[in-house]
Amino acid sequence: MTVDVSISTEENASAAQNERGERAPRARGRPGGEDSRARILSSAGKLFAARGYSGVSMRELARAAKVNLGAVNYHFGGKGKLYHETVLRLIEDIGPVFGPIIHRLVDEVSNAAGNREALSHCTANFMKDMFATVLGKRSLRWQMAFLLREFHQPSREFPMILAERINPMHDAVGTLLAAALELDPKDPSVRLRSQAFIGQIMSFGASRSVVCARLGWDDYSKNRIDFIAATIIPATLASLGLPPVVTNEEKRA
């Protein structure tokens, strides 16, 4: 448990003792290295997501991360390697976010055991989770933009993203659709409908500018995201031939 945390955050690795009580060797040399590294990685993610690889200069990046220009190459050994590290970091970052959502979906589908009301609830829960996460999580904003960019303009890092994060998500949705449609999860039509299912959700992230322009919104907010979910979920349930989910308010009436 403590191991997991230290791996996922990856900070303070050199600052304390290890779990055996042995003295961990303190960092030598001028301090601040891990700090700068983290700042560079964070700035790089945001900038690459917003403007793409060639749209970001090393100088701009160094300025944003508040480090010297040379420090970027010192820590990462070049722009290309930095981009690679950014993708690795992205994959690490979104794992703990989508992992539980995927886990919950697969669990609930399994527990539903074909019961269609239960499948409706799985679907609604999953979509609520996804909308809230993809559209709402401030901390995930640049990651989503980064992903969308890699989707439609795959770099050499794309296969890794596909294998580590996209395939598990699509496979999970596949089990839901297979249960709802009573088809094999490997059926090509299930895979296509998984794409439509996920693509529909992601499109609200990819076309944020369009949605906001057409709805007269400045940006998404919690209430607006809830409204999107409440609007789209019934349509998706119907598309799967699943019964509508009765909301709490409707139950009271």
Give the span between the Cα atoms of 244 and 24, in whole angstroms. 57
The binder of 35, among DNA, its own copies, none, by C-beta within 5 to 8 A per type, is: DNA
In terms of Cβ atoms closer than 10 Å to its own Cβ (0-12, 13-18, 19+), residue 39 is: middle
Least gap, CB of 19 to DNA (angstroms)? 19
- Phi/psi for 137 (5° steps) reads -65, 110
Of the candidates 48, 98, 142, 204, which one interacts with its own copies according to CB under 8 A? Answer: 204
- Within 209-238, which residues bind its own copies (CB under 8 A)? 209-211, 213-215, 227-228, 231-232, 235-236, 238
Of the candidates 166, 168, 185, 226, which one interacts with its own copies according to CB under 8 A? Answer: 166
Least gap, CB of 4 to its own copies (angstroms)? 27
DSSP 139: G
- Checking phi first, is residue 114 left (phi over 0); if not, alpha (psi -120 to 50) or beta? left
How big is the CA angle at 205 (ends 97 and 165), to the nearest 5 degrees? 35
In terms of Cβ atoms closer than 10 Å to its own Cβ (0-12, 13-18, 19+), residue 162 is: middle
Does 239 bind its own copies (CB under 8 A)? Our answer is yes
* Three-class SS state of 243: coil
- Site residues (CB under 7 A) for DNA? 25-36, 56-60, 67-75, 77-80
Query: In terms of CB distance, is 58 or 181 closer to DNA?
Result: 58
Is there a contact between 223 and 130 (Cβ–Cβ < 8 Å)?
no
Query: In terms of CB distance, is 77 or 241 closer to DNA?
Result: 77
Query: In terms of CB distance, is 31 or 243 closer to DNA?
Result: 31
The binder of 155, among DNA, its own copies, none, by C-beta within 5 to 8 A per type, is: none
Give the span between the Cα atoms of 34 and 51, in whole angstroms. 25
Residues that bind its own copies (CB under 8 A): 50-55, 145, 148-149, 151-154, 158, 162, 166-167, 170, 188-189, 191-196, 198-200, 202-211, 213-215, 227-228, 231-232, 235-236, 238-241
